[in-house]
């Protein structure tokens, strides 16, 4: 799985290119915060706008979502975040992409089943048409 993640990251970074588009890393961090809020209170238009068509959204259990399945799960309540707290966040620009790492702690109600989760996240954001878009995300559970 780690090999697949590293390969996906290498491909993503090569697609990101080397030019900057004038946006700051703070803009990417603001987009990540907007995504956090949309995951708690999802709406289709907001999610469609912030997620790239090419999205590869990896879960800590191995499931990989596309843009369509990620949005559908949030809107249907199959993936239901009641709260999301972000900690230990780092933001690193790479050309017109930005890598954001953090720890996500959440209370959930997936499919009506209450739960909690703490996972480590890598998000890859890319400038597309002057806006930051999430193009890749991978979660892993921290060691016990």
- Please report, in tens digits, the pLDDT of each residue of the chain (144 residues total): 433 443 344 333 333 333 333 445 579 999 999 999 999 999 999 999 999 999 999 999 999 999 999 999 999 999 999 999 999 999 999 988 999 999 999 999 999 999 999 999 999 999 999 899 999 999 999 887
Confidence at residue 116, expressed as pLDDT on a 0 to 100 scale:
96
Confidence at residue 143, expressed as pLDDT on a 0 to 100 scale:
85
Residue of 133, 122, 127, 113 lying closest to 60 (CA atoms): 122
CB-based contact 8:76 (threshold 8 Å): no
Confidence at residue 25, expressed as pLDDT on a 0 to 100 scale:
58
Domain coordinates in residue numbering, the chain = 2-13+24-140
* Region of residue 118 (left: phi > 0; alpha: psi -120 to 50; beta: else): beta
- Token pair, residue 25, equals 């890393």
Rounded CA separation 104/119 (Å): 5
pTM: 0.81
Decide the pairing of beta strands 64-65 and 81-94.
unpaired
Confidence at residue 142, expressed as pLDDT on a 0 to 100 scale:
87
Q: Tell me the CATH class for 2-13+24-140.
A: alpha beta
Confidence at residue 1, expressed as pLDDT on a 0 to 100 scale:
43
Rounded CA separation 138/63 (Å): 10
């Amino acid at each position: 799985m780690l090999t697949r993640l590293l390969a996906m990251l290498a491909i993503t970074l090569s697609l990101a290119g080397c030019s900057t588009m004038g946006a700051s890393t703070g803009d990417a961090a603001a987009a990540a915060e907007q995504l956090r809020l949309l995951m708690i209170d999802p709406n289709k238009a907001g999610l469609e706008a912030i997620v790239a068509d090419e999205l590869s959204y990896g879960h800590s259990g191995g499931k990989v979502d596309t843009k369509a399945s990620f949005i559908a799960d949030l809107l249907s309540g199959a993936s239901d975040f009641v709260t999301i707290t972000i900690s230990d966040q780092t933001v690193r620009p790479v050309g017109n992409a930005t890598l954001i790492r953090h720890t996500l702690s959440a209370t959930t109600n997936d499919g009506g089943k209450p739960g909690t989760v703490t996972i480590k996240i890598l998000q890859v954001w890319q400038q597309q048409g002057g806006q930051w878009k999430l193009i890749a995300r991978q979660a892993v559970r921290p060691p016990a």
